[in-house]
A = this chain, B = another copy of it.
Amino acid sequence: MDWQAITARIEAAVTPHIGTGKVADYIPALARIDPTKFGMAIVLGDGTMVTLGDSHEPFSIQSISKVFTLSLALKHYGENVWDRVGREPSGSAFNSIVQLENEKGIPRNPLINAGAIVVTDMLVARSGAQAFEAELLGRFHRLSGDDSIAVDEEVAESESATGSRNRALAHFMAAFGNMANPVEQSLGAYFRQCAVRMSCRQLARAALFLAFDGCDPINREQLVTRENCRRINAVMMSCGHYDNSGDFAYRIGLPGKSGVGGGILCIAPGHGAIAVWSPGLNASGTSMVGAIALEELVEATGWSVFV
């Protein structure tokens, strides 16, 4: 690959769009982010790191954390995870409650809010909120080689303060017996994981194992089984972008997960992991410029899984 040409091509593609989209503004810490930020990091199996723009600047990973939490849950609970959450696309917005009523408190998949709350609830039930957070951050530290990755306390508090809709989801699932802990306990852990700050470099590095059968190709740690790795990617492909997942698969053709902080994580199986960040979102909460950058990358590399 001629990475210099590829990054130049991506840069040319995104430049006219920098600043477009709507920055999340439901909490101050997100609302005040400079909308013209753009960063991207591509990590390959041999550790090569290709970067663009603000790739070292930490941002709030938000819902991208759901992928890592799911991988922990599959490690600890295996197929039992699916007793409490489905793996079908929801066809609706990230925080919809309608489906929960029709399907008796079982969320459609682990990458919408309700599903991620249930997955967090499992992990909190297993070892407590602190141990769960320690395990999650431990992975980030180990894989990214940076022990400073942490929860942004201001964001975590704001998430909780504005979290009425997530509270509604959690109490609703509790009404169907699908919460193992007191709602506030699991919600607290959920809000904190969403508030982790990482840079594109760190995020791509931390997810590299998902491109290589669950085994980090650099430090050789097997983080999930080969089978579960494949499955996590499948769930990301089907459900990673709420009611925009089909369009993302159509345009980009890689398993991915977006966050309202403007980050997108993508996995190119057998090739590498990509993290991109730009705060302006489309109507479904996916970074507009981030998606354009990924589209260009896929076009240039032929990494789509659908070729």
Instruction: Tell me the A residues contacting B by CB distance below 8 Å.
Output: 86-92, 96-102, 108-109, 164-165, 167-172, 174-175, 183, 213, 226, 229-231, 233-235, 237-239, 243-247, 249-250, 253, 255, 269-270, 304-307
Q: Find chain B residues with CB under 8 A from A244 CB.
A: 88
Most B CB within 10 A of own CB, among A183, A233, A234:
A234
| B255 engages A235 (CB within 8 Å) | no
In the complex with contacts A238-B249, A249-B234, A168-B175 CB distance below 8 A: yes
| B231 engages A250 (CB within 8 Å) | yes
Q: Find chain B residues with CB under 8 A from A243 CB.
A: 88
Tell me, rounded to whole Å, the shortest Cβ–Cβ distance linking A244 to chain B. 7
Across the interface, name the chain B residue whose C-beta is closest to A241: B88
In the complex with contacts A171-B164, A171-B167, A306-B89 CB distance below 8 A: no
Across the interface, name the chain B residue whose C-beta is closest to A252: B234
> Copy number in this complex?
4
| A172 engages B245 (CB within 8 Å) | no
Interface of A is mostly: helix
Tell me, rounded to whole Å, the shortest Cβ–Cβ distance linking A35 to chain B. 25
Q: Find chain B residues with CB under 8 A from A169 CB.
A: 168
| B168 engages A171 (CB within 8 Å) | yes
Q: List 22 A-B contacts (CB under 8 A).
A: A87-B246, A87-B247, A88-B91, A88-B244, A88-B247, A91-B92, A97-B168, A164-B172, A164-B174, A164-B175, A164-B183, A165-B172, A167-B171, A229-B306, A231-B306, A233-B306, A234-B306, A235-B249, A238-B238, A238-B245, A238-B249, A269-B307
In the complex with contacts A89-B238, A98-B101, A109-B307 CB distance below 8 A: no
Across the interface, name the chain B residue whose C-beta is closest to A90: B91
Question: What CA separation (Å) do A213 and B183 show in the bound complex?
Answer: 46
| B306 engages A237 (CB within 8 Å) | yes
Across the interface, name the chain B residue whose C-beta is closest to A170: B168
Q: Find chain B residues with CB under 8 A from A247 CB.
A: 87-88
Question: What CA separation (Å) do A99 and B305 show in the bound complex?
Answer: 29
Tell me, rounded to whole Å, the shortest Cβ–Cβ distance linking A5 to chain B. 20
Question: What CA separation (Å) do A245 and B96 show in the bound complex?
Answer: 20
Question: What CA separation (Å) do A288 and B65 show in the bound complex?
Answer: 34
Our pick among B89, B235, B250 for the contact of A234 (Cβ within 8 Å) is: B250
Tell me, rounded to whole Å, the shortest Cβ–Cβ distance linking A25 to chain B. 15
6 smallest CB-CB distances across A and B, nearest first, come from: A91-B91, A305-B305, A168-B172, A164-B175, A88-B246, A233-B306
Across the interface, name the chain B residue whose C-beta is closest to A233: B306
Tell me, rounded to whole Å, the shortest Cβ–Cβ distance linking A140 to chain B. 23
